[in-house]
Structure 1
């Protein structure tokens, strides 16, 4: 029997089946065609994703080290949102998500902007208007034309005069060794590990300058990484103006936990303060302000400082360090009338680190007794009775 005769026999014996199979195939083809978004919708989704993470504002951004994972779908905002075309509301500052690696396992992460969306818009407008431009000007063009950035482009080292008047607590008394560590641990460039910026392009320098000016949090996570024993979450990278670090749970969620677990968290808070004050690198880290929202804990119950935007750093090997140290090295000295809040440091008249007294420089230390009392109030026996 020939092939054509067999086909004719099938049509005669089962015409209904043939029509059903043909109809089913056509339906599947049509459905698959509907599932593929039109080029216009794909372009719209990609454009929305760029605006969502702030890539459209680069190079006035943090970096692009995590963009590939974000757009590959290796980072998901929730189990239901598996692609960058499905994004959560853009009016939030931070989001919980999950990150996968080559092993196929998923780890909790936090995706956060350095500033809230409203604060970021005001920040950009201020840069434009302060330079005499329209509020919607190109922030990158304005920053590139500033005298500060012109100095940055010509220097192979990050020098103390180059960060003068930047408001980050990290930079209140910058030593050369501290700034060298900023550059040496800056992972948003390819060649990491050198204190020189010869391999930095102009866009790299602009991104570093923006990060120092906007929010120091991502830089502290890189300078003092959690995997090396520092009480900070692991830094994964950034995409545009969104930073990704290891996920934690808020410390407040422990308030209803058993007493033993809460007591352990309180002990870890005290130990963190001690480790920040005394370490082998001879950098003394201190709180300029303290709140419960600054802390979180991981699945293994380890407590971390999850917001480092208010942490100051003193280089103990610098010449001016002896003038900044308190009379006692106690981690939690009793609060005294001499403990006062630090006044804002303006650039006019100039203020040098040598003129800063201990009470003015160490509000986090002076006020730590009251602050930790408020943090550990939920850990008291009175709370559980």
Structure 2
């Protein structure tokens, strides 16, 4: 009976894999050509044109059937595909569902005071002072009519928006400033991730994928590796090393930029990747709070000088926070809260990277469980940051011990 049940399970696994392979083959063979995916005809209301020559020359292409990332990418539900750019794996994103892209076109027509189904190029011609439109959007549409935060949340004011976007404008040096601003306007209304990837470039050792560029309504990013969720059962030395990187990333996003802080609001084990050499990279930066470190006295909230402590609002397994509270203080421990609760301890029903610590490690570092809980559930304004710093120290000792044992 036992052997029969195992055999039946494997037969069903084989059937399931066969169906998946057939579906994957169908989806891959039915994918549109890259020029069709790019929708260059929507420009200048698009994401950019820097990679259009790469599509024309064949340097950028969709991944063939022999690639595992290609199989996965074909089954994506949000217009995400996998490909090759100069022989490197890349991710190609349209940055939204089809209905979201259609909503972008309607928003463009409305902004130009035209009918919602107007022609895109006609709408762009009617737009005037695109810089002011961008400022107005960032300043006034922090929340939509339903109270939902926009994906690009700059606070406590948008006064220094030009400083924030200066690197994006530098990367657009091959087009006019007006065209670059239209591309920025388009991204702000749909998905600001490409802007973040240029403000915090991987080339400067930020823990994010490299941004290669755009063609029409298609952006190309580095393929960053497997999701962190694949490593929750990895050997302890590997998990300790990844956890140390995550805590360092929390510090980077909070402190490293000279003018702004970046708070992660959509964080999960599937929104962080681990590349081939073991480096962690945050791969979903669509939703982020950007805090201006040096706002004018005119816009500083009364609580600005104090530190903010993120809370779970009575739900121990929830990743809850107040964006208004974060924006009302000059600094927050939110990134440490996000990393410790969602990635290390594990929020909800998911187990985190350090949810299970080996008994041998607990003998060497008996304080680990306490530090993890203090980081996830802060006892005070500086408690979480202090716990995170001590966690890094303990994890470094574990990494050194493991290296000594292995060598």
- TM-score computed with the length of structure 1 as normaliser: 0.65
Alignment of 1:141-220 (within 5 A): 141-142=122-123, 144-145=125-126, 149-152=127-130, 160-161=135-136, 163-166=138-141, 167-186=150-169, 189-190=172-173, 199-201=176-178, 203-220=179-196
- TM-score computed with the length of structure 2 as normaliser: 0.62
Structure (1 or 2) with the larger CA radius of gyration: 1
Q: 2:100 aligns with which of 108, 115, 119?
A: 119
- The whole-number CA distance in structure 2 between the counterparts of 1:90 and 1:254 is 22
Deviations 1:6-34 (A, max 9, x none): xxxxxxxxxxxxxxxxxxxxxxxxxxxxx
Aligned partner of residue 109 in structure 1, secondary structure? strand
How far the C-alpha of 1:81 sits from its partner, in A, is: 9.2
Q: 1:277 aligns with which of 241, 249, 254?
A: 254
Q: What is residue 379 of structure 1 aligned with on the other side?
A: 353
Aligned partner of residue 165 in structure 2, secondary structure? helix
Alignment of 1:84-103 (within 5 A): 92-100=78-86
Q: 1:369 to 1:189 in 2, by over 3 A?
A: closer
Superposition CA RMSD, Å: 4.2
Structure 1 residue 286 corresponds to structure 2 residue 257: no
The count of residues paired between Structure 1 and Structure 2 equals 307
How far the C-alpha of 1:298 sits from its partner, in A, is: 1.4
Does the CA-based 8 Å contact 1:151-1:162 persist in structure 2? no
How far the C-alpha of 1:301 sits from its partner, in A, is: 0.8
Q: 1:191 to 1:162 in 2, by over 3 A?
A: farther
Does the CA-based 8 Å contact 2:250-2:336 persist in structure 1? no
Q: 1:205 to 1:159 in 2, by over 3 A?
A: closer
Aligned partner of residue 289 in structure 1, secondary structure? coil
Does the CA-based 8 Å contact 1:186-1:222 persist in structure 2? no
Q: 1:367 to 1:246 in 2, by over 3 A?
A: closer
Q: What is residue 37 of structure 2 aligned with on the other side?
A: 52
Does the CA-based 8 Å contact 1:186-1:223 persist in structure 2? no
With 161-170 and 109-118 compared, the bigger mean Cα shift is at 161-170
Q: 1:50 to 1:127 in 2, by over 3 A?
A: same
Q: 1:277 to 1:130 in 2, by over 3 A?
A: closer
Structure 1 unmatched runs, 5+: 1-46, 101-105, 193-198, 346-352
- The whole-number CA distance in structure 1 between the counterparts of 2:112 and 2:165 is 28
With 134-143 and 292-301 compared, the bigger mean Cα shift is at 134-143
Q: 2:204 aligns with which of 225, 228, 238?
A: 228
Q: 1:264 aligns with which of 218, 231, 241?
A: 241
Does the CA-based 8 Å contact 2:311-2:321 persist in structure 1? no
Aligned partner of residue 218 in structure 1, secondary structure? helix
Q: What is residue 7 of structure 1 aligned with on the other side?
A: none
Deviations 1:242-285 (A, max 9, x none): 11111112222223432221222222212111111112514211
Aligned partner of residue 183 in structure 2, secondary structure? helix
Alignment of 1:351-370 (within 5 A): 357-358=328-329, 369-370=340-341
Q: What is residue 17 of structure 1 aligned with on the other side?
A: none
Q: 1:322 to 1:285 in 2, by over 3 A?
A: farther
Q: What is residue 69 of structure 1 aligned with on the other side?
A: 54
Q: 1:304 to 1:48 in 2, by over 3 A?
A: closer
- The whole-number CA distance in structure 2 between the counterparts of 1:222 and 1:277 is 17
Deviations 1:45-104 (A, max 9, x none): xx954331121211111001011112211123224599xxxx96997521222221xxxx
How far the C-alpha of 1:218 sits from its partner, in A, is: 0.3
With 367-376 and 238-247 compared, the bigger mean Cα shift is at 367-376
